[in-house]
């Protein structure tokens, strides 16, 4: 087994290698003067089971090209099997046609990954489960829920007064899965815009009065929905609001928006490399998914069950 990594999240790749007790395969990913990607694998991979670790986070297009070119280099070097390990799968939010003459970019990206040489895909908390069906190769969608559950148990103590909250109707399945793990009820924030140009109104479905609320979602980008949901929950009697999010995209002024909000804490995974601003924020904390991904890689290489990680 060989582990190869692009430049999108080297600390996570190093942590996965540490878990597996394997050295990173020697190679380099660099740029020509015009920013074209150049890749060179500097050790023999013929007949090897190779795992390429690369999140397609910002800059999404650069990181995507790195992943594709790395896999092409490995395919042309006669690797036995290439598995694309994509902790954060970019373009996942474009999984359907929301209107006429719009693309389904998640399907296009799936086609590119297959064509570049991937024979398996390993990813984490896809924005929409049906994206697995966009691939014609085996695709394992891991869940950060076990890591989050462990963190909640360590930091919240008793779960008697906890309510797990979905910040929108689309995330109910994810909220229900986490609530089942910790033995808590769920609530939903129903977001709607009464009139064009007016701010969104958050209606809370469920009893949160006197409860500690945990918002759960897959992606936090601008942070607007999360902050609005926290305000609505506190207005409905919640004593405090925390959030657990798989992928901390946190673009634009999201970090300052979270810092200035009434969220007690935002916990994200290291599927995306945290920026300096994220690391400096007092109410944002990062938990590692390296052991989870490392164990999934190990089981995949040994042809063992991956789904049993989540029972």
> Are 240 and 212 contacting, i.e. CB atoms less than 8 angstroms apart?
yes
229's tokens: 């949901």
pLDDT at position 133 over 70:
yes
What is the model's pTM? 0.93
Task: Please check if 72 is assigned to a binding site.
Answer: no
Q: What is the pLDDT of residue 71?
A: 97
> Are 161 and 211 contacting, i.e. CB atoms less than 8 angstroms apart?
yes
Domains within the chain, CATH numbers bracketed:
2-143+291-310 (3.40.50.2020), 145-288 (3.40.50.2020)
Q: What is the pLDDT of residue 245?
A: 96
Q: Where residue 98 falls among pLDDT bands split at 50, 70, 90?
A: confident
DSSP at 134: G
Task: Please check if 307 is assigned to a binding site.
Answer: no
Give, in degrees to the nearest 5, the angle at Cα 220 between 192 and 71. Answer: 130
Q: What is the pLDDT of residue 191?
A: 77
Task: Please check if 223 is assigned to a binding site.
Answer: yes
State pLDDT tens for residues 156-207: 988 889 999 999 888 899 999 999 999 999 999 987 765 554 546 678 999 9
Task: Please check if 161 is assigned to a binding site.
Answer: no
Active site positions, annotated: 191
Q: What is the pLDDT of residue 252?
A: 87
Stretch 238-258: mean pLDDT: 94
State pLDDT tens for residues 37-82: 999 999 999 999 999 999 999 999 999 999 999 999 999 999 999 9
Stretch 143-155: mean pLDDT: 94
Q: What is the pLDDT of residue 168?
A: 86
């Amino acid at each position: 087994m060989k582990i190869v990594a692009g430049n999108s999240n080297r600390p996570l790749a190093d942590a996965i290698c540490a878990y597996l007790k394997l050295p990173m395969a020697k190679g380099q990913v660099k740029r020509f003067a015009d920013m074209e990607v150049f890749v060179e694998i500097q050790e023999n991979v013929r007949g090897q089971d190779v795992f390429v670790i690369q999140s397609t986070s910002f800059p999404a297009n650069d990181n995507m090209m790195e992943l594709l070119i790395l896999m092409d280099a490995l395919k042309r070097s006669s690797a036995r099997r290439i598995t694309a390990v994509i902790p954060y799968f970019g373009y996942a939010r474009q999984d359907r046609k929301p209107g006429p003459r719009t693309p389904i970019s998640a399907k296009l990206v799936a086609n590119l990954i297959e064509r570049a040489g991937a024979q398996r895909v390993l990813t984490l908390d896809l924005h929409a489960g049906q994206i697995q069906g966009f691939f014609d190769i085996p695709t394992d969608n891991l869940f950060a829920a076990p890591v989050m559950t462990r963190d909640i148990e360590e930091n919240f103590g008793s779960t008697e007064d906890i309510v797990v909250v979905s910040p929108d109707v689309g995330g109910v399945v994810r909220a229900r899965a986490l609530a089942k793990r910790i033995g808590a009820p769920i609530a939903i924030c129903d977001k709607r815009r009464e009139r064009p140009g007016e701010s969104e109104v958050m209606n809370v479905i469920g009893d949160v009065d006197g409860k500690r609320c945990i918002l759960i979602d897959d992606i936090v980008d601008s942070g607007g929905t999360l902050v609005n949901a926290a305000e609505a929950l506190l207005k409905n009697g919640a004593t405090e609001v925390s959030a657990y999010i798989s992928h901390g995209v946190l673009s634009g002024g999201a970090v300052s928006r979270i810092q200035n909000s009434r969220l007690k804490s935002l916990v994200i995974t290291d599927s995306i490399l945290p920026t300096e601003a994220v690391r400096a924020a007092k109410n944002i904390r990062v938990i590692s998914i390296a052991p989870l991904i490392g164990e999934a890689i190990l089981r995949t290489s040994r042809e063992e069950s991956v789904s049993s990680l989540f029972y």
